Structure 1
Amino acid sequence: MDQLTNSTIYIVDDDEDFRNSMSWLLESVNCKVECFSSARSFLERYDGGLGCMLLDVRMPEINGLALQQIMIERNIKMPIIVISGHGDIQMAVSAMKQGAIDFIEKPFDGDVLLRLVKKALTLAKDNYEERTEERRIRELYANLSRREMEVMDLVVKGNANREIADQLDISPKTVEVHRSRVMAKMQANNIADLIRLHTNLASK
């Protein structure tokens, strides 16, 4: 998993022996691992890093389902693989409904876990890049003037400069100036690119 070594696997489980064995397995394939004996410990120490989580559903005080809910409320986004013991399948299913990407039942094969972790870390990286792009687009859009925003909205709807001028009661030449500024500020290479950026904004 060398291509994903900038990510961290967060193990949240109250079983020390299990945490130690998982750390050994994951570190043997060059993964960075951080272990937490409770949900509260994770919430107190998590620093916002990129990665995924191995989460035991049955823990004292704050169980895995409750931790998931707290993470949702705090906007902590990371792929979660639920660790389920005997008799915890219904809880694991509930965790999946809350957004966990998969669950694995103890005892399990190490190779199966490694495949799931690789999948989760790849998803975490993709999600991070998507959020970074969304933030970049919002920042670019925020630099537009109110008139430039109006012009952009009409351009992506397919209106010609003359039509935009009529709707905004300005001259076609002024529309052309605003349009040029919109393209530059949004860092759009062409209209198709501008439409993609506008669609990203509209979908959030």
Structure 2
Amino acid sequence: MTTASTVFVVDDDQAMRTSLQWLIESTGMKVLTFESADAFLAGYYPGRAGCLLVDVRMPGMSGLELQAYLTREGYRLPVIIITGHGDVAMAVKAMKAGAMDFIEKPFHDEDLLRSIRRALEYDQRQRVGQAAREDLQARLADLTPREHEVMGMVTDGKSNREIAAALGVTPKTVEAHRARVMEKMRAESLAELVRMALIAGREEGA
């Protein structure tokens, strides 16, 4: 994880918030606490790195409702549900809706910290992957329509001569287009260019 990651704790019980803050900060992690879902939403901006530790039962918006809202709005923040003995069925529902974990009260400190670390590591992996996808899209956007055509044919395994015949140009012109594609995509080899094309194709089909 990076120092930019924050553990966001949402719980209406002040004693629980204080206890969780002390525990998590004792490991060197940054913590912000909120007494309600509304307070959290007022203080959080989309894209901020970290994870959310939220109680199921709270006045106003519940933990499950907050999770559903974040999912609906496209927030990628990993969610850990804190649940009482009577809330296990709801916690299972939260897991099915995408929560990373649920922790039953009373919980062991190490179990909670292990879950938090796993959520923060997952968040960082997601962010690295997203940055790589955005970089790939920026490279693709820099290609001309003809370079896109050439890249598609090259990564389909067609030779320069076959591409030239399909486009009605000379093989030397194809070589020039191909060189520009490799340069703009910053591909060191044909295999790397094929990998990029496969990733881009998966993104378009997602």
**TM-score where L is the length of structure 1:** 0.95
Q: Following TM superposition, by how much is the alpha carbon of 1:35 offset from its aligned partner in structure 2, in angstroms?
A: 0.9
Structure 2 partner of 1:153: 152
What is the alpha-carbon distance in structure 1 between the residues aligned to residue 193 and residue 30 of structure 2?
Answer: 39
CA contact (8 A) 1:96 1:102 kept: yes
Give, as a single letter, the amino acid of the residue that structure 2 aligns with 1:40.
D
What is the alpha-carbon distance in structure 2 between the residues aligned to residue 168 and residue 59 of structure 1?
Answer: 64
**Aligned residue runs from structure 1 range 137-176, under 5 A:** 137-176=136-175
Q: Following TM superposition, by how much is the alpha carbon of 1:191 offset from its aligned partner in structure 2, in angstroms?
A: 0.9
Name structure 2 gaps, 5 residues minimum.
none
Q: CA RMSD of the aligned region, Å?
A: 1.2
- Answering whether residue 183 of structure 2 is matched by residue 184 of structure 1, we say yes
Structure 1 partner of 2:87: 88
Name structure 1 gaps, 5 residues minimum.
none
Give, as a single letter, the amino acid of the residue that structure 1 aligns with 2:41.
L
What is the alpha-carbon distance in structure 1 between the residues aligned to residue 32 and residue 7 of structure 2?
Answer: 6
Give, as a single letter, the amino acid of the residue that structure 1 aligns with 2:86.
G
Structure 2 partner of 1:36: 34
Paired residues, what number? 202
Structure 2 partner of 1:22: 20
Q: Following TM superposition, by how much is the alpha carbon of 1:87 offset from its aligned partner in structure 2, in angstroms?
A: 0.9
Structure 2 partner of 1:8: 6
Give, as a single letter, the amino acid of the residue that structure 2 aligns with 1:107.
P
Structure 2 SS opposite 1:112:
helix
CA contact (8 A) 1:5 1:30 kept: no
Residues 37-89 of structure 1, C-alpha deviation per residue, up to 9 Å, x if partnerless? Answer: 11111112113321111111222221122211211222210221111112111
Give, as a single letter, the amino acid of the residue that structure 1 aligns with 2:37.
A
**Aligned residue runs from structure 1 range 94-113, under 5 A:** 94-113=93-112
Give, as a single letter, the amino acid of the residue that structure 1 aligns with 2:186.
Q
**Aligned residue runs from structure 1 range 53-132, under 5 A:** 53-132=52-131
Q: Following TM superposition, by how much is the alpha carbon of 1:112 offset from its aligned partner in structure 2, in angstroms?
A: 0.8
Q: Which runs of 4+ in 1 moved over 2 A?
A: 3-6
What is the alpha-carbon distance in structure 2 between the residues aligned to residue 192 and residue 41 of structure 1?
Answer: 49
Q: Percent identity?
A: 46
